[in-house]
Amino acid sequence: MRTLNWLWRGLLFFVLFAFALNNQHTVSLKWFLGYQWQAPMVFIVLAAFALGCAAGVLAMVPSWWRQRREARNRLLLMPAPVKTEAGTASALVAGGQSDVSELTLPPELPFPPDMPAPRKPVK
């Protein structure tokens, strides 16, 4: 499968390279007010591709920020761990040995910590 993937990448590279070699002539991109830009067609196609990638990334930024904010809010909403009397474990603390009760989460969490919060049904 890995070999097939590399063969596909190589084929794609050679097809795009052949496209670039076949389109080396200079073209003129005409802007408003009489401005124009003359460059090889490959550079114009590359510039259009780069602008499209940048627009896609910029379009995703608000979604990324919202998801980060929701994740941070979920961490802040989680209750602090409580000590249980049932299980005791000894842990090594910075000066020596001490008995520390096992820390667990209370059973009344608003939602499981590894699952997204439930959404209200849309009416």
- Under the banding of pLDDT at 50, 70 and 90, the label for residue 22 is confident
Largest separation between any pair of C-alpha atoms in the chain: 82
Q: Above 90 in pLDDT, residue 51?
A: yes
**Cα(84)–Cα(97) distance, rounded to whole angstroms?**
19
User: What is the dihedral sign for C-alpha 85, 104, 78, 115?
Assistant: negative
Q: Above 60 in pLDDT, residue 92?
A: no
Q: Which residue has the higher pLDDT, 77 or 108?
A: 77
- Under the banding of pLDDT at 50, 70 and 90, the label for residue 45 is confident
- Answer yes or no: pTM beyond 0.75: no
